[in-house]
Amino acid sequence: MTENLFSDNLKLTPISDIGEQGLINLLTQNIRFHQQSTLLGAGDDAALIQLPEGEQLVVSTDSVVEGVHFDISYTPLKHLGYKSVVLAISDILAMNATPRQLVVALAISAKYTVEAMEELYRGILAACEQYEVDLVGGDVTASSAGLMINLTALGSAPAAKLVKRSGAQVGDLVCVSGDLGGAFMGLNLLEREKRIFRESPEIQPDFGDNDYLLQRQLRPEARKDLLDIFTNLNLQPTSMIDVSDGLGKDLERLCQASGVGAKLYEDKLPLDPKTLSLALEFSIDPTLCVLSGGEDFELLFTVPQTAFDKVKSHPDISIVGHITDASEGLYLISKTGTAMELKDRMYVQ
Amino acid sequence: MTENLFSDNLKLTPISDIGEQGLINLLTQNIRFHQQSTLLGAGDDAALIQLPEGEQLVVSTDSVVEGVHFDISYTPLKHLGYKSVVLAISDILAMNATPRQLVVALAISAKYTVEAMEELYRGILAACEQYEVDLVGGDVTASSAGLMINLTALGSAPAAKLVKRSGAQVGDLVCVSGDLGGAFMGLNLLEREKRIFRESPEIQPDFGDNDYLLQRQLRPEARKDLLDIFTNLNLQPTSMIDVSDGLGKDLERLCQASGVGAKLYEDKLPLDPKTLSLALEFSIDPTLCVLSGGEDFELLFTVPQTAFDKVKSHPDISIVGHITDASEGLYLISKTGTAMELKDRMYVQ
Q: How many Cβ atoms from other residues are within 10 Å of residue A212's Cβ?
A: 16
Write the pLDDT tens digit of every residue in A312-330.
Answer: 999 999 999 999 999 999 9
Pairs of residues, one from chain A and one from chain B, whose beta carbons lie less than 8 Å apart: 183
Q: Please list every residue in chain A whose beta carbon sits closer than 8 Å to the beta carbon of residue B240.
A: 45
Residue B200's pLDDT is what? 87
Residues 131-150 of A with CB under 8 A from B: 136-139, 141-146, 148, 150
Kindly report the three-state secondary structure assignment for every residue of chain A: CCCCCCCCCCCCCEHHHCHHHHHHHHHHCCCCCCCCCEEECECECCEEECCCCCEEEEEEEEEEEECCCECCCCCCHHHHHHHHHHHHHHHHHCCCCEEEEEEEEEEECCCCEHHHHHHHHHHHHHHHHHHCCEEEEEEEEECCCCCEEEEEEEEEEEHHHCCCHHHCCCCCEEEEECCCCHHHHHHHHHHHHHHHHHHCCCCCCCCCCCHHHHHHHHCCCCCCHHHHHHHHCCCCCCEEEEECCCHHHHHHHHHHHHCEEEEEEHHHCCCCHHHHHHHHHCCCCHHHHHHHCCCCCEEEEEECHHHHHHHCCCCCEEEEEEEEEHHHCEEEECCCCCEEEHHHHCCCC
What is the nearest CA distance from A203 to chain B, expressed in angstroms? Answer: 30
Q: If you write DSSP's letter for every residue of B117-157 in order, what string do you get?
A: HHHHHHHHHHHHHHHT-EEEEEEEEE-SSS-EEEEEEEEEE
The per-residue pLDDT for A10 is: 61
Helix (H) or strand (E) holding B177: strand B173-177
Of A58, A69, A137, the CB nearest to B61: A137
Q: What local confidence, expressed as pLDDT, does residue B232 receive?
A: 96
Q: What is the pLDDT of residue B2?
A: 40
Residues of B in contact with A45 (CB under 8 A): 60, 91-92, 94-95, 165, 240-242
- Chain A interface test: which of B25, B45, B66, B242 (most A C-beta within 10 Å): B45
Most B CBs within 10 Å: which of A20, A59, A166, as the mutation test of the B interface?
A59
Mean pLDDT of A264-283: 96
Q: How many CB atoms lie within 10 A of CB B19?
A: 11
Inform me whether the C-beta atom of residue B155 falls under 8 Å from chain A C-beta atoms.
yes
Nearest Cα of chain A lies from the Cα of B337 at a distance, in angstroms, of 33
Place B10 in a pLDDT band, splitting at 50, 70 and 90.
Answer: low
* ipTM of predicted assembly, 2 dp: 0.90
CB B182 within 8 A of CB B272: yes
Quickly state the pLDDT bin for B4 (edges 50, 70, 90). Answer: very low
Cβ atoms of B131 and B227 within 8 Å: the answer is: no
Chain B hits for A28, Cβ within 8 Å? none
What confidence tens digit (pLDDT) does each residue in B164-186 have?
Answer: 999 999 999 999 999 999 999 99
Residues A153, A290: Cα–Cα separation, whole Å: 27
Q: State the Cα–Cα distance between residues A104 and A121, nearest whole angstrom.
A: 10
Q: Could you tell me which of B154, B60, B85, B136 has the C-alpha nearest to residue A105?
A: B60
Answer yes or no: do A44 and B166 touch at CB < 8 A: yes
B48 contacts A57? CB cut-off 8 A? yes
> In chain A, which residue's Cα lies nearest the Cα of B249?
A21
* CA quadruple A79, A85, A91, A95: dihedral, nearest 10: -120
pLDDT over 70 percentage in chain A: 96
Selected for mutation to probe chain B from A21, A38, A40, A44 (highest B CB count within 10 Å) is A44
Model pLDDT for residues B80-108, shown as the tens digit of each residue = 999 999 999 999 999 999 999 999 999 99
Strands A134-142 and A98-108: parallel
Nearest CA to A342 out of A290, A283, A271 is that of A290
Tell me what pLDDT residue A8 has: 52
Banded pLDDT at B20 (limits 50, 70, 90):
confident
B148 interaction partners in chain A (CB closer than 8 Å): 107, 143, 148
The stretch B240-254 carries a mean pLDDT of 96
Question: Any idea what DSSP says for residue B3?
Answer: S
Residue B262 CA to residue B260 CA, distance in Å, equals: 7
Q: What is the pLDDT of residues B24-68, one digit of tens each?
A: 889 988 899 999 999 999 889 999 999 998 999 999 999 999 999
- Residue B6 binned pLDDT confidence (cut-offs 50, 70, 90): very low
Q: Which residues of B touch A49 (CB under 8 A)?
A: 56-59
* A interface test, pick of B35, B152, B165, B298 with most A CB neighbours within 10 Å: B152
Q: Is the minimum CB–CB distance between B94 and chain A shorter than 8 Å?
A: yes
The set of residues, in sequence order, having a beta carbon less than 8 Å from that of B96 and lying 6+ positions away, is: B157, B161, B162, B163, B227, B230, B236, B237, B240
The predicted-structure confidence for A84-115, as pLDDT tens digits, reads as follows 999 999 999 999 999 999 999 999 999 999 99
Read off the pLDDT of each residue in B299-304 and give the average, rounded to a whole number.
Answer: 98
3-class secondary structure for B56-121?
A: EEEEEEEEEEECCCECCCCCCHHHHHHHHHHHHHHHHHCCCCEEEEEEEEEEECCCCEHHHHHHHH
| Arithmetic mean of pLDDT, B204-214 | 87
pTM for the model:
0.92
Are B236 and B144 in contact by the 8 Å Cβ rule? The answer is no
> B86, B101, B85: which is closest to B36 by C-alpha?
B101
For chain B, the residue count is: 349
Is there a contact between B48 and A56 if contact means CB atoms under 8 Å apart?
yes
Reply yes or no on whether the pLDDT at A24 is more than 60: yes
* Structure-derived torsion over alpha carbons of residues A289, A292, A294, A297, reported in degrees to the nearest 10: 90
Residues of chain A in contact with residue B150, where contact means CB-CB under 8 angstroms, are 61, 63, 105, 150
Instruction: Name every residue whose Cβ is closer than 8 Å to that of residue B225 and which is 6 or more positions away in sequence.
Output: B316
Q: Residue B348's pLDDT band (boundaries 50, 70, 90)?
A: low
For residue B69, list chain A residues with Cβ-Cβ distance below 8 A.
141
Kindly tell me if the per-residue pLDDT of A3 is higher than 60: no
Assess A154–B contact: CB distance below 8 Å, yes or no: yes
Q: Cβ(B346)–Cβ(B248) under 8 Å? A: yes
Q: In 10 A of CB A319, how many CB atoms?
A: 18
| A6 pLDDT more than 50 | no
What pLDDT score was predicted for residue B202? 85
Is A59 close to B154, i.e. CB distance below 8 A? Answer: yes
User: Confidence class of residue B77 from pLDDT cuts 50, 70 and 90?
Assistant: very high
Domains belonging to chain A, first-starting first, are 15-159 (3.30.1330.10), 165-345 (3.90.650.10)
DSSP state of B205: P
